[in-house]
Amino acid sequence: MKKFLFVMNTSRLDQQQEVESRAVDEFASLGLVALPYSKTLPPVREYTQDEVRSVVRDAEIEGYVELSLDGVASANIQLPAVSETSGSARISGDANYATARGKSTTVTYGGGSQNVVTGLTWRAAVLSAETGKVVWRGEVIIDLTRSSGYTQVGNVYDKVISEIAEKMQEDGIAVQKPRR
């Protein structure tokens, strides 16, 4: 397949548009062609099957890439108790005699536990535009404990999309567009 309609399955339109836009760019960097679903079929209304088929046919789309966040791994970490001491002092007197008065306060913040995300599992499926049947499935697991490169959600999206596109190429599902 040479041309795909990229679909990010999520209930958040802003997230869908961001991921689809990143996918178009990543696919292009690998010599592949992808169109964003949210721009090809704007989410302003429901489309009939015939309308979708017509748009797909007119755009010469051969397959759909559907990406979904499938799983979230987490861990419960223990937080230590922390003490904080603050105070003030007042000094009075002259060169021969001085007095100091002060007070300090110590506050201890209790420890506890916190649940943190440690990994994400993403699944992708490629469907034939002609038959509507799944022709390929892939999975990417992101271990958030092994790299600090995932502090921005966009970095996670880029990694997932890149790995999916590369796996599609390796498995012969995605073929580079011919160079002109």
Q: Of the ranges 73-77, 100-104, 121-125, 152-156, which one carries the lowest mean pLDDT score? A: 100-104
pLDDT of amino acid 126:
96
**Which of these, 79, 81, 88, lies nearest to 108 by C-alpha position?**
81
Mean of the per-residue pLDDT values of the chain: 87
pLDDT beyond 80 at 166:
yes
- Does one domain contain both 55 and 13? yes
Shared domain for 85 and 165, answered yes or no, is no
Phi, psi of 154 (to 5 degrees): -60, -35
Smallest Cα–Cα separation from 66: which of 37, 103, 25?
A: 37
Shared-domain flag, residues 13 and 57: yes
Residues 31, 71 within the same domain: yes
- Domain end residue (candidates: 95, 112, 129): 112
Same-domain pairing of 30 and 98: no
What is the pairing mode between strands 82-93 and 63-79? unpaired
Q: Examine the fold and report which residue of 89, 112, 135 is the final residue of a domain before the chain moves on.
A: 112
13-29 vs 153-170: helix crossing angle, rounded to 10: 50
Residues 40 and 126 reside in one and the same domain: yes
Phi, psi of 96 (to 5 degrees): -90, -25
Alpha helix (H) ranges present in 3-93? Answer: 13-29, 37-40, 49-58
How many domains are contained in the chain?
Answer: 2
Token pair of 51 as six digits: 């309308």
Residue found by looking up tokens 């190429």 in the block: 169
Same domain, 100 and 64: no
| Domain around 98 | 79-112
Do 106 and 57 sit in the same domain of this protein? Answer: no
Is residue 176 domain-resident? Answer: no
The Cα-based distances of 166 to 84, 120, 122, 154, 172 in angstroms read 51, 19, 15, 18, 10
51-91 residue pLDDT tens = 998 999 999 999 999 999 999 998 888 878 777 777 777 77
Residue 102: the pLDDT is 75
pLDDT score, position 179 = 58
Query: What secondary structure does DSSP assign to 89-122, as a single string?
Result: EEEEE-SS-EEEEEEEEEEEE--EEEEEEEEEEE
Residues 50 and 138 placed together within one structural domain of the fold: yes
pLDDT at 178: 61
Q: Is 178 among the domain residues?
A: no
Does the pTM surpass 0.85? The reply is no
Pair 101, 159 in one domain: no
Distance CA 77, CA 89 (A): 39
